[in-house]
Amino acid sequence: MQLAGINELNFEPKMLISADNTNTVSTPEALRPELGPLSELNYIPSNARFHGKLNQQASQGSAVVSLKTETGTVIKTWTFALNGQNAISANERVNLSQVAGADALLFEVEIATAAQSGTTIEFDSFVAVALPLTVNGC
């Protein structure tokens, strides 16, 4: 018998990021999820997805979004030009096989080049971990 499920790690609360100056914002330390016993699986197919909604269409700027461990290991990085954008988003496969169960995950958003005055980004993020399971002899 084969079963599968998905465990979703939610990075709450949504982050409100000022994009009109260069800065770096990351998931608050107390709210960073851990893989826990999921890290013991040999195969961890996972997807990182996020959506950052800008409060106005940007005329300039750039952002770098990274999924990291709290020990500094970068799992995946995305780079976005903000000019002409109302949102930034991604939904991509990530490899969590080397992440320890007690090593918390975080999203980091770096505003590398500032957007115009008053621009903010409401950033919402998740990591979905698939749980394949095969049971023999039932």
SS3 1: coil
Q: Please tell me the predicted confidence (pLDDT) of residue 47.
A: 94
Q: Please tell me the predicted confidence (pLDDT) of residue 10.
A: 85
Domains of the chain, CATH where assigned: 14-127 (2.60.120.260)
Per-residue pLDDT of the chain (138 residues; tens, 9 = 90+): 666 677 788 888 899 999 999 999 999 988 899 888 878 776 677 999 999 999 999 999 999 999 999 999 999 999 999 999 999 999 999 998 888 889 999 999 999 999 999 999 999 999 998 876 666 666
- In 3D space, the residue among 10, 37, 49, 39 whose CA is nearest the CA of residue 99 turns out to be 39
Report the side by side order of strands in the sheet with 45-54: 2-18, 120-134, 45-54, 87-95
Q: What is the pLDDT of residues 84-114, one digit of tens each?
A: 999 999 999 999 888 888 999 999 999 999 9
Q: Please tell me the predicted confidence (pLDDT) of residue 138.
A: 60
Q: Is the pTM for the entire model greater than 0.75?
A: yes
